[in-house]
Amino acid sequence: MDIKLIIAFMLVPALSYSQPIKTIKGAKNLGVTGNTESLMTAQSDTSNNTIIVNEDSIVNFVVKYYQPELEKLKQEVSAELKITKEDGNLKINYVKDGYSYFSRSIPLPNLLLKGDINRDGKNDVVVSVWATGGTHAIWNDVFIFLGTKGGYCFYKKYDSYSIGSVKSYYAKFYPAQIKNGCLVGKMSMLAHNDPGCCPSLFYKTTLKFINGKFKIVNEKKIQETDRI
């Protein structure tokens, strides 16, 4: 089946869910039309067999991935769905009286991490999504898209607790770049006396994609404020 041209994003700050989305070229048809409410409720294929033609449609795909979770939440609590574009990210919030039941910050195409992580000569894409909602927990969801002849194929979603061989449940990895075929980022970890909110140990961590899994191949202790 040929890849069709349909929806991605042309959103402005403070865009409410009733405002229209402008279509742009290059995104796979995932059944979305009209406005941002339909963007979050339309059925879509987020299976591992979906071929995604470019970075615009990768962002579209990631939004759809969260659709079942949002649908379930909307049945449990009545709140307002807000979609805004801020600092190069698409921000999705389900809020009521200042309380966020669901929040995701999805990088737009120019901020996606690109490089060849499986060393097959094709560029791959990593999407690191800031996530919180309903609790005080903050983490990142990490989506892996492997390059194929037709574009990209969704491989797997990790979270910052599970990607790589993290040392404990309280260790979290935040991807920053793809370098020399490896995923490089910052890992935070609780020291023995740290409160749960506030890790004091930080490492520049390099993950290598080996036999379909990420494994830590290098770590270097750094300061929290050090840039990767």
123 and 12 in one domain? Answer: yes
Are 52 and 28 in contact by the 8 Å Cβ rule? The answer is yes
| Domain end among 106, 139, 159 | 159
97 and 42 in one domain? Answer: yes
175 and 136 in one domain? Answer: no
Least confident of 26-30, 89-93, 116-120, 200-204: 26-30
Question: In the structure encoding, which two tokens stand for residue 92, read together?
Answer: 């999705």
Structural domain of 182: 160-228
Q: Could you tell me which residues come within 8 angstroms of residue 29 by beta carbon, excluding any fewer than 6 positions away?
A: 4, 6, 7
Q: Does the pLDDT at position 103 exceed 70? A: yes
**What is the per-residue pLDDT for 26?**
32
111: left (phi over 0), alpha (psi -120 to 50) or beta: alpha
8 and 55 in one domain? Answer: yes
Higher-pLDDT residue of 198 and 124 is 124
Are 92 and 99 in contact by the 8 Å Cβ rule? The answer is no
Higher-pLDDT residue of 65 and 26 is 65
Q: What is the pTM for the complete model shown?
A: 0.78
Higher-pLDDT residue of 218 and 50 is 218
Least confident of 2-11, 55-64, 91-100, 114-123: 2-11
131 and 38 in one domain? Answer: yes
Domain count, the chain: 2
| Domain end among 132, 159, 186 | 159
199 and 123 in one domain? Answer: no
pLDDT band at 24 (very low <50, low <70, confident <90, very high): very low
**What is the per-residue pLDDT for 136?**
73
Residues paired with 125 in a beta bridge: 114, 145
